[in-house]
Structures are given as C-alpha cells and as structure tokens.
Amino acid sequence: MKRLVVGWAESTGLAKAIARKKGWKFSILDAGRFPDGEINLRFTCDVKGGEVYLVQTLHNPDERLMEVFFAAHTARELGAKKIVLIAPYLCYMRQDKRFRPYEAVSSRIMAKMMNSCLDGIMTIDPHLHRYKSLREIFTIESKTLTADGALADFIRKKLKNPLIIGPDAESYQWAKDVARMVGCEAIVLKKKRYTAKHVAIRMDKKLSFGGKSIAVIDDMISTGHTMAEVVKDVKSLGGRKIYCICIHPVFVNEAYGMLSRLGAKVISSNTIPHKTNRIDISDIIVKAL
Ligand code: R5P
C-alpha cells in the first residue's frame, strides 16, 4: 500500500524529515484562504488507496484544527484507506474538566471531532493530568510518545552538575523520569495558579543552588509565568545557570522575551517550530510509525 506524508507549509520541515527517514512520499497540502477568510484546501497528489499521515502541530489551534478536519474528510472522500494525524503538540488537553459551571470540556469535544474523521492520532507528551490516557477521550487508535529521553540526552550532554526542578505536581512525571535517565536529583515544587498570568510557586528557602546547572522542566511554556516564578526563586537562592526546558514551546505573547530577560536560557523541542528548538523529536515519531 502506498504511504504518503502530507505536510502543511509550516510543518514541512518535520513532515519531510519523517518522509525521508521512512522512505515514504512527501506531499505538501495547499491550505489557502478565500478572500473572506474561509479555508480553501487542496491535496497536491492522489491519495486514493493510500495510507495518509497528516503532519500538523496544534498550537493556536482553532484554524489549524479546522484545516485538519477538512483535510481528513477530503482524504476520505478521495479514497484514502487510512488517515492518521501526527500532531506533535495536541491542543486543548488542559481543558479536561468543567472548571466552572456550564463550561465546555474542550478536550473531549476536540477528540470527538477527530474520532469522526481520522483512523489514528499520534502525539508527543500530551498534557495528561486528569485523564490517565488518551484512550479516555479517543475511540480511534491513539499513540502517546514521549520526548523524555531526548530531554535527558540534551541535559546529559550540555549541562554540568545538573539539578532538575519540576514547577508543579503535573510536571512530576517528566521531572522524575528525566532525572532518572540523567542520573541526577529532581525537586518538584508546589504551584497555585490564580489566573493565567498570576501563579505562585512554593519553594523551600533552605535550598541552595550554588555550583549547579538548574534545569526547570515542564511539558509546555505558555504564558511563561510558571517558569518565570521558578527562575526568580532559584536566582534568589543563589542559582546562576538556569535553563528553562520545555517539550512544547507554545509561548504566548511575550513569554519567551520575559524568560530571556530574567537571564534564563530557554530550550525547547521542535514539536512547535521556534528559535529555541534544540531538541529534535523526528526520530521519536519515525521509530513509532
Ligand atoms: C500546567 O500544568 C502545565 O504543565 C504548565 O505548567 C503550564 O501550562 C505552563 O503555563 P504557563 O507558561 O502559562 O505558566
């Protein structure tokens, strides 16, 4: 059966790398706009009878999601036998319960829409907090990959005398695993989020960070306020070499600038294209396909 990796203009780098490493054909998806802003989407090759791997990451998701739905339904209409979405960053996963009365549980709705048009989904380190597995919301085949090993490699190679910090309970899974792989200590802090931009971190004031390379690890940096609070506390306790390392560089507005101005070195994986990408996840996907 023919296998086809289909990439959007912005995901071409990753899609081409996957196609090259697998020896499969690459094809670009033409996702344009009509004058009124509506999506005008077109495959640029015949998908009939093939397995189609759509590669699109889903930060700032709404337009991208709509394009994914259009692409999946169109591939089906054009006779594709199997349609799988490779979304290195999966959106809406933090909306995993009704936090306020009458609120949408967006992750469930997003998954339902994907279940209706895809045969499978593959993603890297989705924000699994209240859900233990993607199977709780996806009825299609779902594959959860992790960039833990790649983060550990980076820390092992680049940081001298590392100490890993997880900013909150949710980051425990990543901080603990990466520390075990690196062979260093990990500290997990307590966080309280009041609003999107107001977070408080509780750190033991008796800690001392002199001489250590501090790697603050989180699955994502969004507004950057979680990382910023940790960086300020670490600096106040003598930490000098501070690395903010995330898997998904969502970076809302000034997040990256704010962390850089605090003197932290920001490092990310390329689940979302950004100038801080230093950790490549293409092999993780290739191995899983
Ligand atoms: C939440 O639990 C996540 O693991 C991250 O800590 C959070 O999403 C980061 O958000 P922000 O950068 O907006 O503080």
Note the pLDDT of residue 207.
82
Q: Is any atom of ligand 1 closer than 6 Å to the C-beta of 223?
A: yes
Q: Is any atom of ligand 1 closer than 6 Å to the C-beta of 96?
A: no
Sign of CA dihedral 116, 119, 124, 125: positive
> Which ligand 1 atom is the nearest neighbour of the CA of 226?
14
Distance (angstroms) between ligand 1 centre and the Cα of 245 equals 12
- Give this prediction's pTM: 0.94
Q: Give, in degrees to the nearest 5, the angle at Cα 106 between 61 and 115.
A: 80
Note the pLDDT of residue 201.
87
Query: What type of residue is 133?
Result: S
Q: Report the alpha-carbon distance of residue 204 to residue 15 in Å, rounded.
A: 44
Q: Is any atom of ligand 1 closer than 6 Å to the C-beta of 221?
A: yes
Q: Which of 107, 190, 195, 226 gets mutated to test ligand 1 (max ligand atoms within 8 A of its CB)?
A: 226
pLDDT digits (tens, 9 = 90+) for 61-97: 999 999 999 999 999 999 999 999 999 999 999 999 9
pLDDT digits (tens, 9 = 90+) for 135-157: 999 999 999 999 999 999 999 99
Helices 148-158 and 172-182: crossing angle in degrees, nearest 10, is 50
Question: What value does the mean pLDDT of the chain take?
Answer: 95
Note the pLDDT of residue 174.
86
Q: Is any atom of ligand 1 closer than 6 Å to the C-beta of 225?
A: yes
For the chain, residues with pLDDT lower than 50 are none
Q: Are 110 and 203 in contact (CB under 8 A)?
A: no
